[in-house]
Amino acid sequence: MAARTLYTAGITGVGMSFPEKRLTNAELEKLVDTNDQWIVERTGIKERRIVEKGTGSSVHGAKAAEQAMEHAGITPMDVDMIIVPTVTPDMLFPPTAGLIQEKIGAKNAWGFDLEGACSGFIFALQNARAQVEAGHARRVLVIGTEVMSAITDYEDRNTCILFGDGAGAVVVERVDESRGGIIDAINRLDGSGAKYLHMAAGGSLNTPSAETIAAKMHYVYQEGRDVYKFAVKGMAGITAEIVEKNGLTGADVDLFVPHQANIRIIKAAQRRIGLEDSQVCITIDRFGNTTAASIPSALRVALDEGRLKEGHIVVLCAFGAGFTWGSTLLRWTAP
């Protein structure tokens, strides 16, 4: 039996916030044995933004949320729920959702953090959609926010070139069914991927100690080549799946907004459904991989560039640690 839904959910506001400080490839050349040409050719990244030390994820998360609410034309008191996908919460508990709630004054909201690594945003979006469709919430803030610099080893050239800090947020709310809104989502989890990409210490398994710090277990560990293979297969596959499942082809897609992990992974997904460059939103050159913040902030960039209009067919997709991956199909619902 098909799931019973009462309402239609759509994205009606988007926001982003990034720290001012830029970390360029030239600066990384001074930290590790790498060079601008290698980084640009292998990843597409030219620079990323980095917070001042001691800035928690809630800071830019709150700013992105404020811009998303302003765009949607709602006030903090209108928000019923806050979901914060992040791998870098301010603290392991309490939830960063509450810290952001306090900063923005969304006193009527409840909420929680969601850990879905680089797929966190689209997992959270599916949760927000379900709450709105079921009538449990009218307006949900989904805020992907990361301080990846806090868990990045700037002596490890395999990882330090990839990540950046920042935040992106959307307002998901009830919209008229005729406008489309969020149409479909496919989400997946495969825990056998944990060994390839993780942060080993800081949780309950390896509690912080002098040994875990000496062994650099509080930093991102990644077997890049393996992750790359899974990511290409996962992202391209799940993008094609959602497009075909809904009787569409690449020609029907107005904008493809993929998680920004590596330009070559994005191109593979793009080729799989036959998209032109003009149909794809790329921000990795300026922001690097911002984990759960990459898709919502890319949506804001696309909006500012005039590439998101009422009725546009938009496809989101992500792949990340876990492994986690997924795609979302929506018809754009301007505020």
Query: DSSP states of 33-69 as a string?
Result: S--HHHHHHHH--SEEE-PPTT--HHHHHHHHHHHHH
Nearer to ligand COA, 222 or 333 (CB): 222
Own/partner pairs, 151-157, CB within 8 angstroms, 24+ separation: 151/87, 151/88, 151/199, 151/218, 151/219, 151/220, 152/219, 152/220, 153/216, 153/219, 153/220, 154/31, 154/32, 155/31, 155/32, 156/32, 156/216, 156/219, 157/32, 157/33, 157/34
Q: Is 279 in the site for ligand COA (CB under 6 A)?
A: no
Nearer to ligand COA, 123 or 228 (CB): 228
* Phi (first) and psi of residue 176, to 5 degrees: -65, 135
Residues 154-193 that bind ligand COA (CB under 6 A): 157-158, 161
Based on the residue annotation, tell me whether 259 is a catalytic residue of this protein: yes
Q: Is 43 in the site for ligand COA (CB under 6 A)?
A: yes
Q: Give the per-residue contact string, 113-132, with ligand COA (x = CB under 6 A; - = no).
A: -----x--------------
Q: Is 228 in the site for ligand COA (CB under 6 A)?
A: yes
* The only residue of 34, 55, 206, 212 in contact with ligand COA, by rule CB under 6 A: 34
Nearer to ligand COA, 7 or 228 (CB): 228
Residue ranges with strand state E in the chain: 8-17, 22-24, 47-49, 81-85, 110-114, 139-147, 165-175, 181-189, 197-198, 221-222, 255-258, 313-320, 324-331
Nearer to ligand COA, 97 or 292 (CB): 292
Given the residues 160, 259, 262, 317, the one annotated as active site: 259
Q: Pick the piece of the chain touching ligand COA (CB under 6 A) from 19-27, 75-83, 107-115, 220-228.
A: 220-228
Based on the residue annotation, tell me whether 127 is a catalytic residue of this protein: no
Given the residues 71, 118, 187, 262, the one annotated as active site: 118
Q: Is 227 in the site for ligand COA (CB under 6 A)?
A: yes
Q: What is the rounded distance in angstroms from the CA atom of residue 316 to the CA atom of residue 299?
A: 10
Based on the residue annotation, tell me whether 198 is a catalytic residue of this protein: no
Q: Can you give the binding site for ligand COA, defined by CB under 6 A?
A: 34, 38, 42-43, 118, 157-158, 161, 224-225, 227-228, 231, 261-262, 265, 319-320
Residues that are catalytic: 118, 259, 289
